[in-house]
Amino acid sequence: MELLYACCVGVLVSCGIFLLLRARTFPVVLGLTMLSYAVNLFLFASGRLVVNQAAVLGYSTSYSDPLPQALVLTAIVIGFAMTAFVVILAIRGRADLGHDHVHMAFPKLKKGNK
């Protein structure tokens, strides 16, 4: 299970970084989302991976660490809000600037040189 889990996180991170390095806002937003999924999984694993253990103290003699679950929940909520914001901002950028290049100075420079 650990191997599968680690591979999942690794693949998500590498996909995320690959997409972040693209020069357009839409892949960058997707990359950020991938990265935040990977981070959530990683945070969850920081309490150690165990099976068949209750999540809450007091209901079982052996229990899994509840704190990482609370952390992940917070991280998901914040990540969700931030993704929503960056999507809106990307649409706004597309409307304002007429293109979706991340490196927006590039087309501008060309105009100036004419």
Q: What is the contact surface with other proteins in residues (CB under 8 A)?
A: 20, 25, 28, 32, 35-36, 38-39, 42-43, 45-48, 67-68, 71, 74-75, 78-79, 81-82, 85-86, 89-90, 92-93, 96-97, 102, 104-105
CA distance 57 to 80: 29
C-alpha distances (whole Å) from 37 to each of 95, 96, 100 are 28, 30, 24
Bridge partners of 16, per DSSP, are none
Q: Are 48 and 65 in contact (CB under 8 A)?
A: yes
- CB of 90 vs other proteins, minimal distance in Å: 7
Shortest Cβ distance from residue 70 to other proteins (Å)? Answer: 9
Query: In angstroms, how far is CA 28 from the centroid of its own chain?
Result: 11
Task: Give phi and psi for 100, each to the nearest 5.
Answer: -120, 30
Q: Which is nearer to other proteins, 25 or 64 (CB)?
A: 25
CB of 45 to other proteins, least distance (A): 7
Which residue's CB is nearer to other proteins, number 54 or number 73?
73
Nearer to other proteins among residue 50 and residue 82 (C-beta): 82
